[in-house]
Every structure is written in structure tokens, then in C-alpha cells.
Amino acid sequence: MVRISTLITAAAVGFSYVDALPTNPFGLSGLGGGVRGEIAKREVVLSTLPDGIKAVTGNGAVPLRLDFNDFIKDDTRKNLYLLALSRMMQTSQSDPTSHYQIAGIHGRPYVAWDGVRGGNNDGGYCTHADILFLSWHRPYLALYEGSLHAHVQKIAKEFKAGTEDSTKALAAAQDWRMPYWDWATNATIPELIGNTPRVTVRMPNGQDETIDNPLYSYKYNFANAQTQKNELPSQPFSTAKQTTRVSIDTLNAQLANIGSNLRDRVYNLLADTGYANFARFSNKGTTTAVNGKLDSLESVHDVIHATVGGGNGEMGWVDYAAHDPLFFLHHTNIDRIFAMWQAVNRDNADAYLKPNDDFTSTYGTYAIQRGSKINSNTPLPPFRKASGANYYSSEDVKSTKSFGYAYPETMDWERDAGDFVAWAKEQVNIKYGKGAPPGVLTSVSSATNSMSSTSSSRTTTTSSRVTTTSRTTTTSSRPTTTSIRPSTTPARTTTTSARATTTSARPTTTPSTTSARPATTSSTTTTTSRTTSSTAAPAPPAPTTTRPATTRPATTSSAAPVPSSPVQGGTRPPRGQRTCSNTPWYLWFWSGLWDCFFEARRQHQNQHQNQHQKRFDLGDIADIAGDVVNTVATVVENAIDRIPDVKDLIDHASSLISGDQYTEYVAQIKAENNALDGTFTVYVFIGDYDKDPKTWPLSKNLVGQHSAFTNIGGGHHFTGAGTVPLTSAIINLVANEKVANLGRAAVVPYLRDNLHWEVATANGEAVPSKDVENLKVGIFSSDVKLPCVDGSLPLWGNTKPEYEITQGRPGGLCQGENIV
């Protein structure tokens, strides 16, 4: 065999090309021509990674893939990246190592890459809603990185020897690895990726030149218009000149609005031992989920795709997503979170695929047959580790070191093996836990404890506790209120006067000795009739907190933030109202209720017809949402789930934490993946929101979203699920005195009246919940024990379905129903 790589310069290329003709039993498919025929004469062998990318085993050090924002701080590293990606994009679209070809592995065009076949011709090679989701994407990313790396090595050598540029480039190339975009730490898209169409680079000839920024978009480069139509058949991609995203200001505002929710989800996935099971954690289609633990890394990943792509951008559709260069920065972060989870779960046998597993590839891929049995040794085509049909398996890629890289949070060298897991947990806390409820409440708890040792601060704590209590008083002082949202004005008056009382009471509260609690009790006694509330106050968030049923209407009405304005869209339809279309049309057939059958089918057809017509008629969401778009800073400032500073929470410590525990709330959402013939999103709000679905992503009362990321026209049929953590928003509501405390007795009635969900397609069209097949939304609570040291994680107690919140609502989980 002649290794083509030696011709290209072995040292400079991350692959070796072998001129062996792979077996091609079915002939060429997809393209009517020789393009793939040419490609099929090579083999891209990923295991032969010369010159820098080497598999490392054991405790050896490897170069790091860095956070994009850190990565670009080094100009040389950044320059090499831009030049290399630019060249990869300019490489002929028929070369298997070009950006187009590697992106094309994922979805469109549905043709053989590097001659690899063997499955279904109606999809790409990617594995979604499948146990291989994470392990398949690891060599996929390594292939992409390998191609970039090869260019980086070559470019570094092109700078004039002996110059400073050359010295720097050669040094940077040595440990060059591609970066990731950590949307869970900071959801907005870095300026260089999102808002910089042209960029100045230092060319190897030493000259600065301004080029099309390869991170901003990929410019399609088809031989002719017909080829593009054949390979990318759906509008608008069949005629697109370059990849696009939702326009950047809108997009960043939308991402910022769900940023802390993404962080909370990622933290829970990494920290909660309820997710310490590979099938549950990894993907949205393998159902080992249990009540209350219905999230997966794939589901979180779907939100980024749906949000970045919208209806018209590549990222929003499985088949097209990888053509956007942001795909690889996003997926590298997914791979990193996966690696962090592996580190935390290093000693857990369920934390990866096993040789004796017996999963099924329900849908197959371009190279995996439908119904194939899957275990850790199942090949991951088209990624060859050696010549011939010799592919990487999940077993081969268990460690990122198989491809010679690690992440800043997964370095297992320079520390004793015995300390590694604790260190990895600490990284999870540092990265995502600090800002999430467990971290914030741990800080509040320790600040409160240390404050109770000094008398001056004790005074502060005491007086603020009084404030809390007086609010409770306000709420509870209106047991006469019966209707939803009644006279709020008197309530406000009461609040004000209660506060006035509190303020004047402050100077007298000093003498209490054992922190604030006795003071709270006594002040409550002076202000109100509600002794039940005040006795509950010392330990409010615990499940033991009991409040009489009469508090509910009061809680509700005091919660209505703007009572004078009409409630827009947030009004709940009458409970229990059912229509024919509550049930999928085809099920009515079996019931014999023919009028329902015809009615439901008509509705189904209309709905899908409309969607089809409108799919690409709509302009960019930015134009429509123009009035609502705010700056990222405003969105973050006003977001309902922005947890206040720890110092502002200390006053509410006793309403938030009970002992070393707090109560967590999550919305768990499931729906038929194919319900709306395309990517769609379920938005979860607490409080009012506008009826116009275009405003939902930017609503200040949006807590988070669950997205189902599919192909155009829909995806596979299965029930997909995801989770929207609610606790950050509720902490904010407690701090703003809208909810008395984090206990169930206060939170459940509040959520029953104020939590809402809505569904919209990728193009921002609303679909009534009752028309979304198999939609179920359930709220689950659990008591979480705070960690006591950095190297440990919180402990989640049993989850409890809070049926009262969702019972009888379209798509709501009903008493006794299971969400899994």
C-alpha cells in the first residue's frame, strides 16, 4: 500500500490516506456522479495520528482543549486556528478531510463518506436518541480536530524560518487542540464567533490580511446549483450561500435568558447521583429514566441547537447542523461535560457502556442497521482506527486520551489517583455549582452561620428576618380572599404598613442571643394572627412545613405582580376541559368515535399543512421580536431566575435553608419527538407572559425551555424528555417576597397558579399543548442536602411528584400518573 499521507508530508497530516478500494457492494448512492467515487479510493484512518496527536494511556499528560475565551487570549494559537479552519473550509468539497465532507458525515448529504456503508440510506451517520450518542461524537470530533491539526502543523512550518512568527507558531502548534464554547458558564456567543464576519490574520508570508471569518459561517462551495440542490435538498439550504444563525443580538439575548437554567441543568446532571447511569445521563431516547430524573446531556444539547438555529439556521436541524462551524465548538463542550461526568463517576461501573450490554439501535444510521444490538464493542462507523472495516468502538474511546487530549477539568496527572475524583467534583462545583442553587445556598448558609457569631451582624439578620415574617403576615392576613387574583390593592397596603411596623421594630430586636430565630418568633407574635406561619418560620423549607389550606388564595393574589393589567396568555384554560384533539387522531379510530376521529384528523392536517407552508416564509425572528429584544445585560438583570447576591439572600436564609437542606423543584417534560414534524420547544414560565410566541424566548418570566431537535419534517418516533430546573427562579421569588419560603406548602400553591408552559415550533408558531402528542409536564420536588466541603457534591433525596400543580391542565401530569 502506498500511503498518500507520505506524499502530502506525513509529519504534517493528521491522517494517513490509503489507496485501498473499500468494498462497495451497493454501488454509489445519493450523488449521480463521480465525486464520491473519487473519495471512495481513499481511506481516512484516524488512528494513525502522527506529529502531536497521540493516544496516551494511564496517568500521562496530554494537551488541553481550552475554553474558547481562554484559547483566543494567545494570538498565535488563535491565528493558527483561523488559518487552519479557513483552509479546511477552502479544501474541495469532495475531499474527505474538508469541512464540508466532515460536516456531511453528520447528516446531509446522505451519501457514503470515505466509502463507508452498511445501514440505511435515509440519514447521516450520527447517532441521536441512542446509547451511542456520546461515544460516537467523540471520534467524530477527533476526526475534525485531526484535520484542523494537520493544517495547523503545515501552516506553522510555512512561516519564514527564524522569524518571531515562525518560532511562536511552531511552539503553539506543538500542543494545539481545538477549543470549546462553554454555554453553560456563559451562554452568549463570543464576539469572534458570532459577530465578526471578517477577521484579520497573520499569513505565513508575514503579512496581515483580512479574510472571511471561518468561525462566523461556512461558505458553501458547490460546483453548481444543481449539486447543492441534490446534496442539501431543503429550503433555505438548497440555495444558501453560507451557513446562518438567528441574528446575533436576538440570539445572545435569548441565550442569556436561559443561561442560568442551562447551568443548573448541567450542574444537576454532573452532581446528582440520580444521573450516575450512562443510559440515563447520555441520551434522550434510551429509557432508563426514573421519576424526577428525566434529563440527559443530549436534551440540554438540543436546546442549544434549537436556539442557535431557529427555523432558518443549520444548527436547528439534525441533518444540516454540522455545516455551521459553531456545531463543533458546541459539541466539544458536550464532549467535555461528558468527560467531566466520567471523571466524577470514575469508580462507578454504570458510568459507561459495557461489553455485555444489550441495547438496540432502534433507528440505525447510514452505516448501522436498524435494530442492531449495541454494546461497548459495537463499531462506530465511519471512524477507522486501521485500514479496512476496522472502526473505533465505544470501548476504544472511553478516555479522551485515546485521541491525545483532555480538558482543564479532567487532568488526571499531577495528582494522586486517590485524590482525582474529589478534585473532579470540586471542578464541577467551581464551574457550575457556585452559581447554582446548591452553591449559592451553601454560601448563604455559611455566611449566616458566621454572622451569628458577631452581635452587630446578628442585628441585621434579626431585623431582616422580621421583614420576612411580616411579609408572611401580609400573605396570611387575607384568608377571606377566595377568587384568584382579587383585590390586590388592599394587600399592598397591608404589606406597606407591615413593613413600616417592621422598620420601627428594628432597634428593639438587638438583644436576641441565639441568632435570629427567637426574634422572628416574637416579632411575629406582635404583628399577626398567624401563629402557624411563625412557628413554621424557623425551619421553613423542609417538607415538614405545614400551612393551612386557607393561605393559598392569599399567596396567589399577593403573587400577581401587575394586577391592574390584563393577564396575557397566562390565563389557564378551565381545568379538565377535553376536546377531540386531546388524543392523537389515529387513536380515535380505535375508539369508534367517528366525529372525533374526523375532527382530530382535520385539525392535525391543518396544523401540519400550515406549519409546512410557513416554515420558511417567516423572516428572522429578530424582526418580529424587535420590540422585545433587550441587551444581554437587561435580559440578565430582569430574568426571573437571576439569583440575587448572597448578601441579599442572607436576610432570607431561614426561608431558604432548613438545617443543611433545601427543597428543589424541577419541571420534567416529555413529548413525542415527532409531534410537530420538526424541531420544537416547550417554554416554561413562572408568572405572566405575552400571547405572542415570538416574545417567549425573551420573556423575563421564562425560566427555561425543553427543545426537541429533529430533522426537517420531523424525526424518529419516540418519547423525548428534558428538565427545566425551577429552584433558581423560586429563590429569586423568595428573595423578592413573592413566595414565603422554599417549602412545599408555600411553593406548590404558588406554582399551581403561576407556572405555565407553552409550545412553539422552530419558526416560533404556537401550538396548543393539547395538540402536542404525548406531552406531559410534571413538577417534582426533592430535598437536597448541601455539601459540606468543596470536594463533595450535594445529596438529592427522593423526588416527589407535585401533582397539584399540573393536575387537569392540557399536558399536565395527573394524580397517580408516572412521567416515565
Ligand X SMILES: *[C@@H]1O[C@H](CO)[C@@H](O)[C@H](O)[C@H]1NC(C)=O
Cβ closest to ligand X, residue 434 vs residue 485 = 434
Residue 191, interface with ligand X (CB under 6 A)?
A: yes
Coil/strand/helix, residue 720: strand
Residue 119, interface with ligand X (CB under 6 A)?
A: no
Q: How near is the Cβ of 428 to ligand X at its closest, in Å?
A: 19
Q: What is the distance of C-alpha 12 from the center of its chain?
A: 36
Rounding to the nearest 10 degrees, give the CA dihedral for residues 568, 574, 576, 578: -80
Q: What is the distance of C-alpha 528 from the center of its chain?
A: 45
Rounding to the nearest 10 degrees, give the CA dihedral for residues 32, 36, 37, 40: -150
Cβ closest to ligand X, residue 186 vs residue 291 = 186
Q: How near is the Cβ of 251 to ligand X at its closest, in Å?
A: 12
Cβ closest to ligand X, residue 353 vs residue 643 = 643
Strand ranges in 28-146 using DSSP code E only, listed in sequence order: 44-45
Cβ closest to ligand X, residue 195 vs residue 550 = 195
Q: How near is the Cβ of 75 to ligand X at its closest, in Å?
A: 17
Residue 402, interface with ligand X (CB under 6 A)?
A: no
- Pattern of binders to ligand X over 584-623, x per CB under 6 A? ----------------------------------------
Q: How near is the Cβ of 321 to ligand X at its closest, in Å?
A: 21
Contact 318, 715 (CB under 8 A): yes
- Pattern of binders to ligand X over 38-77, x per CB under 6 A? -------------------------------x--------
Q: How near is the Cβ of 256 to ligand X at its closest, in Å?
A: 9
Rounded to whole angstroms, how far apart are CA atoms 256 and 187?
6
Residue 341's nearest CA partner among 298, 392, 385, 395 is: 298
Q: Which stretch binds ligand X (CB under 6 A): 100-108, 187-195, 302-310, 491-499?
A: 187-195
Q: Which stretch binds ligand X (CB under 6 A): 96-104, 185-193, 582-590, 727-735?
A: 185-193
By CB under 6 A, name the one of 104, 118, 124, 190 that touches ligand X. 190
Query: In this structure, which amino acid lies at residue 346?
Result: R
Q: How near is the Cβ of 405 to ligand X at its closest, in Å?
A: 23
Cβ closest to ligand X, residue 182 vs residue 409 = 182
By CB under 6 A, name the one of 186, 234, 603, 638 that touches ligand X. 186
What are the grid coordinates assigned to 328, written together? 463543533
Cβ closest to ligand X, residue 258 vs residue 351 = 258
Rounded to whole angstroms, how far apart are CA atoms 556 and 566?
16
Q: Which stretch binds ligand X (CB under 6 A): 8-16, 188-196, 596-604, 690-698?
A: 188-196
Q: Which stretch binds ligand X (CB under 6 A): 161-169, 186-194, 392-400, 499-507?
A: 186-194
Q: How near is the Cβ of 631 to ligand X at its closest, in Å?
A: 11
Q: How near is the Cβ of 192 to ligand X at its closest, in Å?
A: 8
Cβ closest to ligand X, residue 424 vs residue 440 = 440
Q: How near is the Cβ of 179 to ligand X at its closest, in Å?
A: 12
Cβ closest to ligand X, residue 38 vs residue 191 = 191
Q: What is the distance of C-alpha 658 from the center of its chain?
A: 30
Rounding to the nearest 10 degrees, give the CA dihedral for residues 491, 727, 675, 300: 150
Contact 657, 797 (CB under 8 A): no
Q: How near is the Cβ of 585 to ligand X at its closest, in Å?
A: 46
Query: In this structure, which amino acid lies at residue 685?
Result: F
185 burial class (0-12, 13-18, 19+ CB within 10 angstroms)? middle
Cβ closest to ligand X, residue 91 vs residue 728 = 728
Cβ closest to ligand X, residue 74 vs residue 773 = 74
CA separation, residue 628 to residues 488, 605, 705 (Å): 27, 32, 18
Helix (H) or strand (E) holding 682: strand 680-686
Q: How near is the Cβ of 67 to ligand X at its closest, in Å?
A: 10
Cβ closest to ligand X, residue 19 vs residue 70 = 70
Q: How near is the Cβ of 185 to ligand X at its closest, in Å?
A: 8
Cβ closest to ligand X, residue 325 vs residue 812 = 325
Q: Which stretch binds ligand X (CB under 6 A): 30-38, 182-190, 204-212, 594-602?
A: 182-190
Rounded to whole angstroms, how far apart are CA atoms 304 and 310?
10
Q: How near is the Cβ of 697 to ligand X at its closest, in Å?
A: 18
Q: How near is the Cβ of 172 to ligand X at its closest, in Å?
A: 22
Contact 176, 63 (CB under 8 A): yes
Cβ closest to ligand X, residue 191 vs residue 637 = 191
Residue 737's nearest CA partner among 530, 474, 443, 435 is: 474
Cβ closest to ligand X, residue 251 vs residue 344 = 251
Query: In this structure, which amino acid lies at residue 100?
Result: Y
Q: How near is the Cβ of 186 to ligand X at its closest, in Å?
A: 4
Cβ closest to ligand X, residue 255 vs residue 271 = 255
Q: How near is the Cβ of 728 to ligand X at its closest, in Å?
A: 16
Rounded to whole angstroms, how far apart are CA atoms 673 and 128?
12
- Pattern of binders to ligand X over 131-170, x per CB under 6 A? ----------------------------------------
Cβ closest to ligand X, residue 69 vs residue 550 = 69
What are the grid coordinates assigned to 516, written together? 435570629
Rounded to whole angstroms, how far apart are CA atoms 795 and 385?
41
Contact 765, 681 (CB under 8 A): no
Contact 684, 263 (CB under 8 A): no
Neighbours of 567 (CB within 10 A): 16
Helix (H) or strand (E) holding 552: helix 551-559
What are the grid coordinates assigned to 119, written together? 445501514
Coil/strand/helix, residue 184: coil
Partnered with residue 386 across adjacent β-strands are 390
CA separation, residue 69 to residues 72, 188, 260, 322, 603 (Å): 6, 11, 19, 22, 48
Q: How near is the Cβ of 78 to ligand X at its closest, in Å?
A: 14
Cβ closest to ligand X, residue 71 vs residue 237 = 71
Q: Which stretch binds ligand X (CB under 6 A): 53-61, 183-191, 538-546, 749-757?
A: 183-191
Neighbours of 191 (CB within 10 A): 12
Contact 779, 802 (CB under 8 A): yes
Q: What is the DSSP letter of 542?
A: S
Q: How near is the Cβ of 379 to ligand X at its closest, in Å?
A: 39
For 461-506, the DSSP string reads HHHHHHHHHHHHHHHHT-TT--SSS--HHHHHHHHHHHHHHHHHHG
Rounding to the nearest 10 degrees, give the CA dihedral for residues 538, 265, 796, 279: 170
Q: How many residues bind ligand X (CB under 6 A)?
A: 5
What are the grid coordinates assigned to 648, written together? 441579599
Rounded to whole angstroms, how far apart are CA atoms 107 and 322?
8
Cβ closest to ligand X, residue 9 vs residue 195 = 195
By CB under 6 A, name the one of 5, 94, 188, 719 that touches ligand X. 188
**Which residues here bind ligand X, judged by CB under 6 A?**
69, 186, 188, 190-191
